[in-house]
Amino acid sequence: MFKKKPFFVVFEGIEGSGKSYQSNRLYKKLKQKKFPVILTREPGGTKTAEKIRNVILDDYFHKDSDKQFDKNTDTLLYLAARNEHLINRILPAIKKNKIVICDRFIDSTFAYQIYGKSVSKDLVDGIHKHILGNIKPNLTILLTVKISKALSRLKKRKKKNRYDKFSKKFYIKAQNAFVKISKKNKKKYLVLDSSNDDKKIEQKILEVILNRIK
Protein backbone atom coordinates (compact mmCIF):
# COMPACT_ATOMS: atom_id res chain seq x y z
CA MET A 1 0.00 0.00 0.00
CA PHE A 2 1.14 3.54 -0.81
CA LYS A 3 2.34 5.24 2.38
CA LYS A 4 1.00 8.62 1.28
CA LYS A 5 4.40 10.24 1.44
CA PRO A 6 5.77 12.39 -1.36
CA PHE A 7 8.19 10.70 -3.72
CA PHE A 8 10.27 12.65 -6.21
CA VAL A 9 11.77 10.69 -9.10
CA VAL A 10 13.85 12.26 -11.87
CA PHE A 11 14.80 10.87 -15.26
CA GLU A 12 18.16 11.98 -16.65
CA GLY A 13 20.20 11.23 -19.75
CA ILE A 14 21.32 12.68 -23.05
CA GLU A 15 19.00 13.29 -25.99
CA GLY A 16 17.97 10.00 -27.55
CA SER A 17 18.39 8.05 -24.30
CA GLY A 18 14.66 7.41 -24.00
CA LYS A 19 14.17 9.32 -20.75
CA SER A 20 11.08 11.22 -21.93
CA TYR A 21 9.52 8.01 -23.22
CA GLN A 22 10.25 6.07 -20.03
CA SER A 23 9.08 8.87 -17.74
CA ASN A 24 5.81 8.98 -19.65
CA ARG A 25 5.41 5.19 -19.49
CA LEU A 26 6.02 5.20 -15.72
CA TYR A 27 3.48 7.98 -15.27
CA LYS A 28 0.81 6.08 -17.21
CA LYS A 29 1.42 2.84 -15.32
CA LEU A 30 1.25 4.52 -11.91
CA LYS A 31 -1.85 6.40 -13.00
CA GLN A 32 -3.49 3.11 -13.99
CA LYS A 33 -2.72 1.80 -10.52
CA LYS A 34 -4.49 4.84 -9.01
CA PHE A 35 -1.40 6.41 -7.47
CA PRO A 36 -1.45 10.20 -6.93
CA VAL A 37 1.16 11.10 -9.53
CA ILE A 38 2.13 14.01 -11.76
CA LEU A 39 4.47 14.15 -14.76
CA THR A 40 6.46 17.30 -15.41
CA ARG A 41 9.64 18.42 -17.13
CA GLU A 42 12.53 20.85 -17.17
CA PRO A 43 12.95 23.37 -18.48
CA GLY A 44 9.23 24.05 -18.26
CA GLY A 45 6.47 22.40 -16.32
CA THR A 46 4.43 25.56 -15.65
CA LYS A 47 3.06 28.37 -17.81
CA THR A 48 5.78 30.80 -16.76
CA ALA A 49 8.58 28.23 -16.97
CA GLU A 50 7.37 27.12 -20.41
CA LYS A 51 7.75 30.71 -21.63
CA ILE A 52 11.37 30.61 -20.53
CA ARG A 53 11.75 27.18 -22.15
CA ASN A 54 10.67 28.60 -25.49
CA VAL A 55 13.41 31.20 -25.25
CA ILE A 56 16.01 28.63 -24.20
CA LEU A 57 15.19 26.08 -26.87
CA ASP A 58 14.82 28.57 -29.68
CA ASP A 59 17.36 27.49 -32.25
CA TYR A 60 20.27 29.94 -32.07
CA PHE A 61 22.91 28.20 -34.11
CA HIS A 62 23.90 31.34 -35.93
CA LYS A 63 27.27 32.04 -37.48
CA ASP A 64 27.28 35.48 -35.89
CA SER A 65 28.34 35.18 -32.25
CA ASP A 66 26.33 38.26 -31.25
CA LYS A 67 23.14 36.30 -31.99
CA GLN A 68 24.01 33.54 -29.54
CA PHE A 69 23.36 33.53 -25.81
CA ASP A 70 26.37 33.77 -23.55
CA LYS A 71 26.79 30.53 -21.58
CA ASN A 72 26.00 32.30 -18.30
CA THR A 73 22.85 33.85 -19.73
CA ASP A 74 21.80 30.41 -20.93
CA THR A 75 22.41 28.92 -17.48
CA LEU A 76 20.59 31.70 -15.64
CA LEU A 77 17.55 31.16 -17.87
CA TYR A 78 17.50 27.48 -16.91
CA LEU A 79 17.72 28.35 -13.24
CA ALA A 80 14.97 30.96 -13.58
CA ALA A 81 12.72 28.33 -15.18
CA ARG A 82 13.60 25.92 -12.36
CA ASN A 83 12.61 28.47 -9.73
CA GLU A 84 9.19 28.93 -11.35
CA HIS A 85 8.81 25.19 -11.70
CA LEU A 86 9.64 24.51 -8.07
CA ILE A 87 7.33 27.19 -6.70
CA ASN A 88 4.32 26.47 -8.88
CA ARG A 89 4.52 22.75 -9.66
CA ILE A 90 6.91 20.58 -7.68
CA LEU A 91 6.51 22.01 -4.18
CA PRO A 92 2.68 22.07 -4.27
CA ALA A 93 2.65 18.42 -5.43
CA ILE A 94 5.10 17.34 -2.72
CA LYS A 95 3.02 19.10 -0.07
CA LYS A 96 0.05 17.05 -1.26
CA ASN A 97 2.08 13.82 -0.87
CA LYS A 98 2.09 13.10 -4.58
CA ILE A 99 4.57 11.13 -6.63
CA VAL A 100 6.42 13.60 -8.84
CA ILE A 101 8.03 12.34 -12.04
CA CYS A 102 10.31 14.92 -13.63
CA ASP A 103 11.97 14.71 -17.03
CA ARG A 104 15.35 16.36 -16.20
CA PHE A 105 16.37 18.25 -13.09
CA ILE A 106 19.59 19.54 -11.52
CA ASP A 107 21.91 16.84 -12.90
CA SER A 108 21.22 18.10 -16.42
CA THR A 109 22.46 21.52 -15.37
CA PHE A 110 25.66 19.98 -14.03
CA ALA A 111 26.17 17.73 -17.07
CA TYR A 112 25.40 20.29 -19.77
CA GLN A 113 26.24 23.66 -18.30
CA ILE A 114 29.03 22.92 -15.80
CA TYR A 115 30.76 19.91 -17.36
CA GLY A 116 29.72 20.61 -20.95
CA LYS A 117 30.09 24.39 -21.18
CA SER A 118 32.42 25.06 -18.24
CA VAL A 119 29.99 27.35 -16.44
CA SER A 120 31.05 28.15 -12.87
CA LYS A 121 29.85 25.53 -10.39
CA ASP A 122 29.83 28.22 -7.71
CA LEU A 123 27.31 30.21 -9.76
CA VAL A 124 24.92 27.26 -10.03
CA ASP A 125 25.42 26.12 -6.43
CA GLY A 126 24.82 29.63 -5.13
CA ILE A 127 21.47 29.98 -6.88
CA HIS A 128 20.44 26.43 -6.02
CA LYS A 129 21.09 27.23 -2.36
CA HIS A 130 18.40 29.91 -2.54
CA ILE A 131 15.79 28.17 -4.69
CA LEU A 132 16.00 24.44 -3.85
CA GLY A 133 15.71 24.49 -0.08
CA ASN A 134 15.50 20.86 1.05
CA ILE A 135 14.16 19.56 -2.26
CA LYS A 136 16.14 16.59 -3.55
CA PRO A 137 15.06 13.65 -5.73
CA ASN A 138 14.36 10.46 -3.80
CA LEU A 139 15.59 8.59 -6.85
CA THR A 140 17.26 9.60 -10.12
CA ILE A 141 16.95 7.18 -13.02
CA LEU A 142 19.86 7.68 -15.39
CA LEU A 143 19.41 6.14 -18.81
CA THR A 144 22.67 5.58 -20.65
CA VAL A 145 22.77 4.73 -24.33
CA LYS A 146 25.22 3.88 -27.08
CA ILE A 147 25.93 7.18 -28.81
CA SER A 148 25.30 5.67 -32.25
CA LYS A 149 21.86 4.55 -31.06
CA ALA A 150 21.07 7.96 -29.59
CA LEU A 151 22.03 9.71 -32.84
CA SER A 152 19.93 7.24 -34.81
CA ARG A 153 16.90 8.04 -32.65
CA LEU A 154 17.49 11.78 -33.00
CA LYS A 155 17.55 11.53 -36.79
CA LYS A 156 14.02 10.11 -36.70
CA ARG A 157 12.62 13.08 -34.75
CA LYS A 158 10.38 15.25 -36.89
CA LYS A 159 10.73 18.26 -34.62
CA LYS A 160 14.14 19.12 -33.24
CA ASN A 161 15.40 21.80 -30.89
CA ARG A 162 19.00 22.95 -30.50
CA TYR A 163 19.88 20.23 -27.99
CA ASP A 164 19.07 17.61 -30.60
CA LYS A 165 21.78 19.04 -32.84
CA PHE A 166 24.93 18.91 -30.73
CA SER A 167 28.03 17.07 -31.88
CA LYS A 168 28.73 13.43 -31.12
CA LYS A 169 31.66 14.60 -29.00
CA PHE A 170 29.39 16.78 -26.85
CA TYR A 171 26.92 13.95 -26.21
CA ILE A 172 29.78 11.64 -25.16
CA LYS A 173 31.06 14.32 -22.78
CA ALA A 174 27.59 14.91 -21.33
CA GLN A 175 26.85 11.22 -20.83
CA ASN A 176 30.20 10.70 -19.10
CA ALA A 177 29.30 13.60 -16.81
CA PHE A 178 25.95 12.02 -15.92
CA VAL A 179 27.67 8.73 -15.07
CA LYS A 180 30.27 10.54 -12.96
CA ILE A 181 27.54 12.36 -11.03
CA SER A 182 25.62 9.13 -10.42
CA LYS A 183 28.65 7.47 -8.80
CA LYS A 184 28.75 10.06 -6.01
CA ASN A 185 25.61 8.67 -4.37
CA LYS A 186 24.78 5.24 -5.78
CA LYS A 187 21.87 4.66 -3.38
CA LYS A 188 20.00 7.57 -4.94
CA TYR A 189 20.57 6.44 -8.54
CA LEU A 190 19.32 3.71 -10.81
CA VAL A 191 21.52 3.49 -13.90
CA LEU A 192 20.15 1.52 -16.84
CA ASP A 193 21.36 0.96 -20.40
CA SER A 194 18.50 1.91 -22.71
CA SER A 195 20.21 1.08 -26.01
CA ASN A 196 17.88 -1.83 -26.72
CA ASP A 197 14.26 -1.07 -27.58
CA ASP A 198 12.52 -3.60 -25.35
CA LYS A 199 10.01 -3.71 -22.51
CA LYS A 200 12.43 -5.05 -19.89
CA ILE A 201 13.73 -1.64 -18.88
CA GLU A 202 10.18 -0.31 -18.57
CA GLN A 203 9.24 -3.16 -16.23
CA LYS A 204 12.45 -2.79 -14.23
CA ILE A 205 11.75 0.90 -13.59
CA LEU A 206 8.19 0.17 -12.46
CA GLU A 207 9.34 -2.58 -10.08
CA VAL A 208 11.95 -0.34 -8.48
CA ILE A 209 9.52 2.54 -8.01
CA LEU A 210 6.81 0.31 -6.53
CA ASN A 211 9.33 -1.09 -4.04
CA ARG A 212 10.46 2.40 -3.07
CA ILE A 213 7.01 3.88 -2.48
CA LYS A 214 5.48 0.95 -0.55
Question: What span, in angstroms and rounded, lies between the C-alpha atoms of 123 and 179?
Answer: 22
Q: Return the domain boundaries, the chain.
A: 7-213
- Which candidate, 108, 99, 104, 105, places its Cα nearest to that of 28? 99
For the stretch 121-156, pLDDT in tens is: 999 999 999 999 999 999 999 999 999 999 998 888
Model pLDDT, residue 2 = 59
For the stretch 157-214, pLDDT in tens is: 777 766 667 788 989 999 999 999 999 998 999 999 999 877 899 999 999 999 999 8
For the stretch 61-78, pLDDT in tens is: 445 556 678 899 999 999
For the stretch 83-121, pLDDT in tens is: 999 999 999 999 999 999 999 999 999 999 999 889 999
Model pLDDT, residue 194 = 94
- Which candidate, 208, 172, 166, 159, places its Cα nearest to that of 20? 159
Question: Considering the domain 7-213 in this protein, what is its CATH number?
Answer: 3.40.50.300
The number of CA neighbours under 13 Å toward the Cβ of 63 is: 0
